[in-house]
Amino acid sequence: MIRRRSPRLLSAAALSAVLAAALSVSTGATGATGATGATGATGATSAGPDLLTGAGSVSGSEVVGVGQGDRVRLTPLGNGGQQVVEPLRSQDGTAPGLLVNTDDNGTTLQTADGSGEPTVVDGTARTSRRTRAADLVELNFDAIARDGRAASADVTVYDVVTGATQVVRRLPGDPDATCSTKSFEDSSCALVPPGTYSVMAFVTTMPADRPGTARERTTQNLSLVGDPEMTIQDSRDVTFDARLAKPVEVRTPDHRTKVNSDGAMQLGYSRTAANGRKIVRQYRPSALLDQRFFMQPTAPLAQGTFEALTRMRLQAPDIELSVRGRALHPEYYDQVWFSDEITDFPLYDGRDRLRVVDVGHATADDLAGRNLRGAIAVAERTDDLSVAEQSNAAAEAGAALVVVHNDGPGDSDDPNGTGTRLRVPTLRLDRAEGEALKAARGRVAVRGESASPYLYDLVLKEHGAIPEDLTHVVRSRDLASQVREVHGQPTIDSTFSEAAYQYQPEDTFAISTMFPFTGGARTRVEYRMPDPDTRWTYATVTPQTTYNALFPHPPVLRMSLSDPELTAYESAERIAKPVGTAPVTSAPSRFRPMERSGDQMRVAIDGFVDADGNHGTSYSTGSGMSTLLQIRADGVLVGETDNQPSGIAVLPAGDSRVEVSFAADNPQPWTELSTRTESVWGFPSTTVPTGAVVTQPVILVDYDVDVDLRNRVHARGPRPVVFDLRLGHAEGAATAPIDDVAVEASYDDGRSWRAARTIEHTGGRWHVELPRGTGHVSLRLHAGDAAGSTLDQTIVRAWYVAR
């Protein structure tokens, strides 16, 4: 059973503030079109002006810069002030790593590669604190990477008694910068009053072929180093040595797992001062070569509280190679350099034993006369050829799999050129393992699984101190599990992307990564740590999102379906989490119900709402998607738009009958269901006293249909296809008995209709028996209550009936 959370209603003051921001209502369509990109956030895609008013969007997404060309999209989550942050990819296809700092002033974002100043995304900018120079001590910082070289680091010094002092420094700083008390400065030095401080740093270890102090998107690994409680009375040097940090390890005895690409998602900590003030520091790396986090053990505290947090995403290993029982550590090259979508990036599936062929640099001379049919071609990286040129040349000679090993020490994921698709799965190894693979005699075991049937998405916490042993052994029986059912189209293949967002108690923002959900429509079991302080919500997008723009694509408006709940899980709890379940139709936003204050009424319609309450926005775009929202009072049009379907409508004073209609045509090739939907909500409405807010008595419907993962119902012999309707009113609205219900069905896309049999049950539930037929079934529903509220809804191609 799916848990449902009641929407939070705006207070009268909050709604009045929203209404005050609206401009005069336009009675004509805006004519504007929205952006075609789907967000990775739980909520609406940014789509231009506010629907009914022509003003800036009251509730849409906002894109802000956080560095030199780097951007993030902020999307509101409900009415509680929470937002989702989606790092947007730049022109080269890479997304920025982010440092997130939350304290009493609010939240700032800063790119981890050092470009740009911190960007305030919530609250106010921190002001410098004036302190007499005689009262200050000088702290000089440096950092050492795990390989012993000088390293870059992000340092935070925080007063753990009063919370009054916080300084942030990036190492190495400008050698000519002065030492100061400024909160942020490009310096390796800080001036602070004597006291007790948390002095912590995120230290990056760079690949061996890159300078140790470089600030680049790709790093080898990341370490949290320092002392959460350090007494400082005199000036001193502080060295953050990542060699003292211990690895964060996760073992899953019930499943074979690996932290696949981008699976090391977050490393962070929170520090609460003795007086209750708190800071939160999070590091979200852009790309880690070995997908590993490290943390330095710490001693117990005497002042305040401390918590360290890591987020690790483990699945079945996407690729494995073993030589005579010795496991190697192959990784796919980053798909962003060779494709725009994961379906255009070759992945290896299955198990086999393949022969190994050393092809040198995979030049034309190296491959001349070679028969690589069904073999693993092992090439050495070279500056003379790109990885794509090496791989595709070996593929042309028949290779089933290509491995490129580094030509220098350590690991490298440098593609040495982009914009060319790969023909066969292509892996990277460091030089030592590449040489070991080439020396293998006989056949090498290969195993690949691109669509893992399980996922461990774990938020791991260390309370009070970081222990010496950071090994976590997690068994599925002790975890909470969610059965994700991702539904697709009846007769055409579907592609998907997904994101899961975790919120801690202090969070007003959640940041996550949009991952490809490979394997099409299917079921996957997801395991998460039971924790009352960690709440989750989810988003699924179809068709899959693009992560680059190397190859031309026609415009598309994707269906982004977001879970409206924030859910914390308990041990051994098992919950179904279906998404994309037919029928998909329109409905008022659960977070922004239709509410009236005075003679102004807020309207927000979600054009994509599946049968399990996941929601997303649709609007007219160049993709062919066409929508129209219209508001009428006593038959007179008072507002309409083909843009983002939300805004403020001005109604006539006194009593009137209001109709809100939303129609959507979706001819896009990725869908064969809900090709046209139309909903009309009618209800009586009257002027609301000043300062009050009244939820309008809108009738809502839930469809409960026994569809499979391709949204098909399998009819059994002569028995009719049956399903249930659940009818009710918006939360908080005045209710009246719903006593007028009729359903019709069509098997020819709405050209002809036949009545269905409806039987009323208790609790607002109606049992419906469809007339016999096969293929795509369309529905037409009428529902009315005793007080005059009505709902008329048409769904062309609601689901598929197979016999």
Q: What is the pLDDT of residue 131?
A: 53
Q: Is the pLDDT score of 545 beyond 60?
A: yes
Q: Is the pLDDT score of 77 beyond 80?
A: no
Average pLDDT over residues 754-766: 94
Q: Is the pLDDT score of 32 beyond 90?
A: no
Average pLDDT over residues 348-369: 96
Tens digits of per-residue pLDDT, 306-331? 999 999 999 999 999 999 889 999 99
Q: Is the pLDDT score of 135 beyond 80?
A: yes
pLDDT band, very low/low/confident/very high, at 10 (cuts 50, 70, 90)? very low
3-state secondary structure of 395: helix
Q: What is the dihedral of CA 800, 739, 586, 685, to 10 degrees?
A: 170
Q: What is the pLDDT of residue 50?
A: 35
Q: What is the pLDDT of residue 128?
A: 52
Q: What is the pLDDT of residue 132?
A: 56
Average pLDDT over residues 129-150: 85
Tens digits of per-residue pLDDT, 206-235? 999 999 999 998 999 999 999 999 999 999
pLDDT band, very low/low/confident/very high, at 130 (cuts 50, 70, 90)? low
Which tokens go with 205? 């270890």
Q: Is the pLDDT score of 91 beyond 90?
A: no
pLDDT band, very low/low/confident/very high, at 81 (cuts 50, 70, 90)? confident
In the predicted model, what is the mean pLDDT of the chain?
A: 90
Q: Which of 27-36, 157-166, 534-543 has the lowest mean pLDDT?
A: 27-36
Give per-residue burial for 244-266: e unless 16+ CB within 10 Å, then b: bbbebebebeebebbbbbbbbbb
Q: Rounded CA gap, 141 and 170, in Å? A: 9
More confident residue, 634 or 324: 634
Which tokens go with 653? 């004073």
Q: Is the pLDDT score of 22 beyond 50?
A: no
3-state secondary structure of 58: coil
Q: Is the pLDDT score of 139 beyond 70?
A: yes
Tens digits of per-residue pLDDT, 665-717? 999 999 999 999 999 999 999 999 989 999 999 999 999 999 999 999 998 87
Q: Note the Cα 145 to chain centre separation in Å.
A: 31
End-to-end CA distance of the chain: 28
Q: Rounded CA gap, 581 and 296, in Å? A: 46
Q: Rounded CA gap, 132 and 139, in Å? A: 16
Q: What is the pLDDT of residue 5?
A: 27
Tens digits of per-residue pLDDT, 581-610? 999 999 999 888 999 999 999 999 999 999
pTM: 0.91
Q: How many helices (H) and strands (E) does the chain have?
A: 4, 60
What is the side-by-side strand order in the sheet with 765-769? 699-704, 722-729, 765-769, 757-760
